[in-house]
C-alpha cells in the first residue's frame, strides 16, 4: 500500500517549485509570444480583408471610369460623325449650286452660239440662194 512519508512532501514541493519556475521561465513568455503572434495574425487578416475590399473598390471604380470613358468616346464619335455629315451636306449643296450656275452659264453660251450660228447660216443661205439663182438664170 501507499505509505506517506517525508519523500512525498519533498516530491510534492519539488513538483510545485518546478511548476512555479517553469511557469515563470517558460510558460508565461511562451504564452506572451503566442498571444502576440495571434494578435499579429489577426491584424494581418484584418489588413488582408481591408486590402481585398480596397482592391475590389478600386476595381469597381476603374470599371466605372472605363464605362464612363467609353460612353464619352462614343458620344464624341457620334458628334464628329454628325458634324461630318453636316459638312458633307453643306459641301454637296455648294457643289450643286456651283454646278447649276455653271450649267446655266454653259446653256446661255450654247444659246448664244446657236443664235450666232443661225444668223450666220441664214446669211450663208441667203448668199447661196443668190448664187444658185445666178447660176440658174445665167
The reply to whether 125 falls in a domain is no
pLDDT score recorded for residue 1 = 57
20-45 confidence digits (pLDDT tens): 998 889 889 899 999 999 999 999 99
- φ/ψ of residue 55, rounded to 5: -65, -45
Q: Locate cell 495574425: which residue?
A: 41
pLDDT score recorded for residue 80 = 96
> Could you read off the pLDDT tens digit of each residue along the chain, which spans 138 residues?
567 788 888 888 999 999 999 888 988 989 999 999 999 999 999 999 999 999 999 999 999 999 999 999 999 999 999 999 999 999 999 999 999 999 999 999 999 999 999 999 988 888 888 888 888 887
SS3 content of the chain, % helix, strand, coil (to 5): 95, 0, 5
The reply to whether 119 falls in a domain is no
Number of domains in the chain: 1
pLDDT score recorded for residue 110 = 94
pLDDT score recorded for residue 2 = 64
The reply to whether 120 falls in a domain is no
Pairwise CA distance, residues 95 & 89, whole Å: 10
Structural domain containing residue 72: 1-97
Amino acid at each position: 500500500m501507499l505509505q506517506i512519508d517525508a519523500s512525498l512532501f519533498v516530491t510534492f514541493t519539488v513538483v510545485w517549485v518546478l511548476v512555479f519556475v517553469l511557469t515563470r521561465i517558460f510558460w508565461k513568455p511562451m504564452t506572451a509570444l503566442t498571444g502576440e503572434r495571434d494578435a499579429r495574425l489577426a491584424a494581418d487578416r484584418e489588413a488582408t480583408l481591408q486590402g481585398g475590399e480596397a482592391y475590389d473598390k478600386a476595381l469597381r471604380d476603374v470599371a466605372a471610369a472605363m464605362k464612363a470613358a467609353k460612353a464619352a468616346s462614343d458620344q464624341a464619335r457620334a458628334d464628329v460623325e454628325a458634324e461630318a455629315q453636316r459638312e458633307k451636306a453643306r459641301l454637296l449643296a455648294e457643289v450643286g449650286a456651283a454646278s447649276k450656275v455653271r450649267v446655266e452659264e454653259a446653256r446661255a453660251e450654247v444659246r448664244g452660239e446657236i443664235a450666232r450660228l443661225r444668223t450666220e447660216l441664214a446669211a450663208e443661205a441667203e448668199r447661196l440662194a443668190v448664187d444658185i439663182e445666178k447660176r440658174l438664170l445665167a
